[in-house]
Structure 1
């Protein structure tokens, strides 16, 4: 079978993106998988890791083919960039995993009874200040700070615009800060 040219590779990726064309993907896989493995091995990956990266890259091509834009990059450039980025991400994860624990992150001493009591007092003060807020403001504070939800997630959950969430949350924090400063 004749090797596809750059334009045909682009059309194959577009066919996968638009129609989930398995035959087009098979041709892409046949063309790119061995080339990706070779490229990744030359870049320093072990043969088994290079094969894993190549397969993961092709899986990403399948999933993200609809994002391919032939005006921004050629098909080969796009596919090889995916493989390169997967390898870089893996190297970064590996580097983070191999870090020795930083002993400066550990607490110096266990909490003293005074510190525990002060923490309990703070909890009571914050709870009291929260109860002085309107129900909407208290709910926004709880969702954002206690449940650690992103503003966009809060907007979806409450069915209100993102800008409204941000402005209401800002006002709630200002009021909460004011209430807490009054009780010091």
Structure 2
């Protein structure tokens, strides 16, 4: 287990993860698991399934960390996408056996204190940043990244062409990426 005072800048943490450092992986799990678990639970709707998806997600993260590219986004965004895609895949798999699916929105009131990602001082409030997007972009980001919709499902749900959905999501992500760019500094991850 890592010491309480251990701190990693993101590039250092990524380098350690890519070298299969067990302590760095424990550190990653300690800091990201609560946020990922909350999103996974909202997508799969079952705690037992969420536990399995969580385990599968971290196995995928461990096996695929070499594919992480910091130029495409932060480490948190990458691990969130791995977990989200794993949960969506599980939900699709289960859909074959279910007759109906309820697409509930992840409400802040539904999240327990343990499942909320508490930003560290070097991070920002993602929800408030997403709120600043134009309504059509904000809605798509919420649907695709917080509610588990695919681009195709969002297109069908909103009655928009698939190309429009993909274009708006891409533009929204570009805006969000610009917000997170900090020149000359790296976010520090510290154990609370």
TM-score (norm 1): 0.46
More helix by share: 1
Greater relative contact order, per chain length (Cα 8 Å cut-off, separation 6+): 2
Structure number with bigger Rg: 1
